[in-house]
Structure 1
């Protein structure tokens, strides 16, 4: 039996033999706190082998995936069935029977649970609302409605106040509600639930980690660390718990003097986004950037972007701000190269790139320079990127090479699925790829990777490709999670992007270009796995 879920990594795991799939899953555990779809995908890959004695390392990962899936999807009948079959949750069949008994229309449920929230969230909501109106004890539809609420960053739908949860499942539903609020960082609603939820959370590393950050935000660091220690003891394979505890005990202290001491050139390029560009420059003006020079390239703009940038000069009385006009839009990679070729950049120690649709943390440059100056081989520093909104959904963290064979070359996912910024990734760590909407390059490193590849025009993947060039040349890429960039992304393939079919075609085309560019170097790329994963595996 397989788990039917919205599977993101199914194709990746399915393209690998069992040992390689296990190694890829282990890499994810070293990178992120696993989400339900990815755990389900790995479970399906293992089950596809049929009855067999799993190697000890694969068996341990399979057990972790099953536990994670059950913890994250406690009202999914298929996942609970797997949990019961494995013997890891011997009493879970009772929960599953209640779910099946209270599901009034299984066929409808099977159809809507497979629909993508990105395209059908409102339709799913209406179906669940209608079902709960007619059948107020329909647990699976209540759970699905709450998942749509999480996707849209909402408090629970008002209709859920009338949901009549079966008594035997009431404690589990209470924990489900706590997880919803704590996942979004909604402390006002999460805190009152914790006392009742705490006993049930003792066996759930995900709930414990959410509670840890909840107590950190209340100023109780000791309780936060205690809860994280419990989560790590339950799930020692998930590296982010250990990294977060280390960061909490020894937080990064930015050296603000570096902003004055180091020569930095800050570069932006834009195409017909006058209002957004103006708001980005306004945000930049509120930052501590010292004497940094600012270059703004107008990439064939036909709107009033030039006037917006010219007016912004008055916001930077202590900084030189130059405008570069291009008669046509040459695309993102060529625009970056044009800026990199400027004498002001070549004469600087560092060059920072900012997208034209971001809101910036005021002390971002001090954090980036502190990380970069810690090691002369660090060639690029990036940050945590979130979507705008009251509850900040993670958009991009960091990536590594996840699959690298002669048949397929892929980088890992940029974030776990549908996780909000509660603090878990406020860490500093080495990686392979960071997002290009806000990052700091060491100019000396550019001698080994001087240009962004114009074959990826007009956009997408060029920053990923450039980071891998740096890594293969011996430079390091670091993620600085103490800096948060709010990115109003309307391109790319993220969960909330507004990419049309033509844009999707461009991304797919660039994926093909990426594969064929790196095919002859696939063995070198393969060595760029998740940083530290090999050492961790040897220590297990």
Structure 2
């Protein structure tokens, strides 16, 4: 273990590096950006710091490659790093780096591969891999298509040994470890990772820890995570998990500290609503009441609600509107009910979710651990494939100048391009959480207001209200230890109509116009400061642990 305090190692990082690292240390693109910032800071640092930051940047780039081992472009970037402050790459990497240029060929922009939708790509990839069996590019595309679809036959075909370039065997071994973990075969994944050792600098402590946790070897996982953070203070995702494990946050459930109302609104999703209410009835609701608003459905929704009234009895209250008033107005309608507002905590649920038994207890634990917050949310994954994280915690990135992109609002998206292997299972403050399952403090609603009906029929009304909560000094907390499954696919696996895409884009424009560039910059700046403070507190607790150890 390092003789230097972990908090000092963290504080010694240049602030631009800390700002990015405070968001997390996971995901190919985010890690590549973090590596770039480290290398940029090395170029303007003192001679004594230059080498340390350059090596750190190289190691972070290697971690990005570790996150997507079939992405040869990251390996080529790594092999291209040169300079007097950089020692030679680790010996284990050198043969792979030397062979990589012969096995990574990207098709030209006019190649018909470009522009294919996911289903078309799935059909084309077996033939493309057979045509160029030693081109790692097609294997990388196969992995990126296969895991969001849980299409393991395609992934297995990409990793078939008969079609694998021999010099790149370590990349195949690591990709197999990812595949086995995705298939929930943790013991096999761990064996593969142990066989690979530290081929990538620092190894893959996040993946190995996840395997150990799934196998019930919690103490070993905590030791591994601690060693990773102490040797590399930029490993903040590992610290988030470690800190919650050591404090028992990952296991904590408690009743919501006050009376609660569970609120749903729905429109023409009778089957999904039926499944959602079944999930709710099977969960531990404590003493919460349920209110369901039918937004003028023309399907079997009224019959579904009436049937569940017989199950919930007096705990369920139903309302029916003659027309669909949209999500913001439906939420406000429910908030206006006197019997709802008498409850201290109000939980909104989408009508197409699947809840774990302890979901309300997890929100209760979040309320106990973040008592000053006004909003609490959770991690949301696809019902069809829980590896696909739809929503985690959001702290907007700094607005980009209008000439650099069409939109000012820039939400972090590191969760979208990687399987959820537990790296978002933590509790921490943030700027916004998903409206799919979130809890509000009733007493704070009048001060901030309800949901803006200008964001009808849906999209970003929950985000916009969270921004108002944050700007008013209220807290928002993300409870990543609560995982809710959402029946509607999102993110990379989403299939949205042109009308839905246009509506979402228009509402994002409205949000930007409402808060303006200065308001969005303030949100980003204060959000970054919030994440930094939280991370500093976690490093301080790690100080105490290492002193005791």
Partner of 1:224: 221
Partner of 1:80: 75
- Secondary structure at 2:493's aligned position in 1? coil
Residue by residue, what CA displacement relative to the aligned partner does 1:499-523 show, whole Å, maximum 9, x if unpaired? 1111111111111111110016345
Distance 1:535 1:267 in 2: 31
Residue by residue, what CA displacement relative to the aligned partner does 1:60-89 show, whole Å, maximum 9, x if unpaired? 685465233333344444332321232456
Conservation of the 8 A alpha-carbon contact between 1:213 and 1:224: yes
Cα distance, 1:114 vs structure 2: 8.4
- Residue 263 and residue 405 in structure 1: after superposition, are their counterparts in 2 closer, same or farther (change >3 A)? same
Partner of 1:279: 275
Cα distance, 1:198 vs structure 2: 3.0
Partner of 1:11: none
Partner of 2:324: 329
Residue by residue, what CA displacement relative to the aligned partner does 1:474-524 show, whole Å, maximum 9, x if unpaired? 21111112211001125xx62122211111111111111111100163454
Counterpart of 1:348 (choices 329, 343, 347) is 343
1:266 matched to 2:262? The reply is yes
- Residue 404 and residue 271 in structure 1: after superposition, are their counterparts in 2 closer, same or farther (change >3 A)? same
Partner of 2:7: none
1:359 matched to 2:354? The reply is yes
Cα distance, 1:337 vs structure 2: 0.5
Distance 1:406 1:130 in 2: 43
Partner of 1:320: 315
Distance 2:493 2:385 in 1: 15
Counterpart of 1:401 (choices 384, 396, 415) is 396
Partner of 1:236: 233
Counterpart of 1:31 (choices 23, 33, 46) is 23
- Residue 411 and residue 400 in structure 1: after superposition, are their counterparts in 2 closer, same or farther (change >3 A)? farther
- Residue 472 and residue 394 in structure 1: after superposition, are their counterparts in 2 closer, same or farther (change >3 A)? same
* TM-score (normalizing by structure 2): 0.82
Partner of 1:245: 242
1:478 matched to 2:477? The reply is yes
Distance 1:46 1:229 in 2: 22
- Residue 294 and residue 196 in structure 1: after superposition, are their counterparts in 2 closer, same or farther (change >3 A)? same
Distance 1:113 1:39 in 2: 30
1:142 matched to 2:139? The reply is yes
Cα distance, 1:222 vs structure 2: 2.4
- Residue 223 and residue 113 in structure 1: after superposition, are their counterparts in 2 closer, same or farther (change >3 A)? farther
1:169 matched to 2:168? The reply is yes
Conservation of the 8 A alpha-carbon contact between 1:385 and 1:486: yes
Q: How many residues align?
A: 506
- Residue 66 and residue 107 in structure 1: after superposition, are their counterparts in 2 closer, same or farther (change >3 A)? closer
- Secondary structure at 2:421's aligned position in 1? coil
Ranked by relative contact order (alpha carbons within 8 Å, sequence separation 6 or more), the top structure is: 2
Deviation larger for 364-373 or 306-315? 364-373
Deviation larger for 51-60 or 26-35? 51-60
1:515 matched to 2:536? The reply is no
Partner of 1:95: 96
- Secondary structure at 1:402's aligned position in 2? coil
Conservation of the 8 A alpha-carbon contact between 1:270 and 1:277: yes
Conservation of the 8 A alpha-carbon contact between 1:267 and 1:339: yes
- Secondary structure at 1:410's aligned position in 2? coil
- Residue 76 and residue 254 in structure 1: after superposition, are their counterparts in 2 closer, same or farther (change >3 A)? closer
RMSD between superposed Cα atoms in Å:
3.3
Residue by residue, what CA displacement relative to the aligned partner does 1:264-315 show, whole Å, maximum 9, x if unpaired? 1110001100110111011000111123121111112111101100100122
- Residue 387 and residue 75 in structure 1: after superposition, are their counterparts in 2 closer, same or farther (change >3 A)? closer
Alignment of 1:437-456 (within 5 A): 437-456=436-455
- Residue 191 and residue 121 in structure 1: after superposition, are their counterparts in 2 closer, same or farther (change >3 A)? same
Partner of 2:302: 306
Deviation larger for 52-61 or 262-271? 52-61
- Secondary structure at 1:423's aligned position in 2? coil
- Secondary structure at 2:117's aligned position in 1? helix
- Secondary structure at 2:310's aligned position in 1? helix
Residue by residue, what CA displacement relative to the aligned partner does 1:85-120 show, whole Å, maximum 9, x if unpaired? 3245636564345233345xx45377779847xx63
Alignment of 1:109-258 (within 5 A): 115=114, 120-155=117-152, 156-158=155-157, 160-183=159-182, 185-187=184-186, 189-200=188-199, 203-205=201-203, 207-252=204-249, 254=252, 256=254, 258=255
Partner of 1:296: 292
Conservation of the 8 A alpha-carbon contact between 1:30 and 1:238: no
- Residue 214 and residue 110 in structure 1: after superposition, are their counterparts in 2 closer, same or farther (change >3 A)? farther
Unaligned runs of 5+ in 1: 1-21
Distance 2:110 2:72 in 1: 14
- Residue 198 and residue 324 in structure 1: after superposition, are their counterparts in 2 closer, same or farther (change >3 A)? same
